[in-house]
Amino acid sequence: DVKVTQSSRYLVKRTGEKVFLECVQDMDHENMFWYRQDPGLGLRLIYFSYDVKMKEKGDIPEGYSVSREKKERFSLILESASTNQTSMYLCASSFGQGNGNTIYFGEGSWLTVV
């Protein structure tokens, strides 16, 4: 079974703090994604990576950065957390370059910024 693990499930951070969300997948997938999910807005893509050290912006990259130093690990960084970044963050992974392969989600990280 594919496993995508998000190490932090529930976090509470203060405005202005630097926040790291970590994600690890065990299926040697090339592609990894960070989405955020908000009520009424669905899942929105923040960043994705198609290879080690390669990254591309998604639809809502502002206020976020990412790091992928190893194939299995993809980190989302909030340089200076703000209250509007309170959300559920979902990491996902997949293989291949097309559009037809399944993406697998982690269990989600619930972030509250106060």
| 37 touches 88 (CB < 8 A) | yes
Nearest to 6 by CA among 18, 15, 16, 20: 20
Which residues are 25's β-sheet partners? 4
Map tokens 């697998």 to a residue: 104
28 near another protein, judged by CB under 8 A: no
Among 33, 34, 64, 74, binds another protein (CB under 8 A): 33
Q: From the list 20, 27, 70, 96, which residue makes contact with another protein (rule: CB under 8 A)? A: 96
Taking the C-alpha atoms of residue 95 and residue 109, their distance in angstroms, rounded to an integer, is 23
Of 14-22, 69-77, 78-86, 99-107, the window that binds another protein (rule: CB under 8 A) is 99-107
If binding is defined by CB under 8 A, does position 99 make contact with another protein? yes
Chain residues in the site for another protein (CB under 8 A): 31, 33, 35, 40-45, 48, 50, 58, 90, 94-103, 105-108
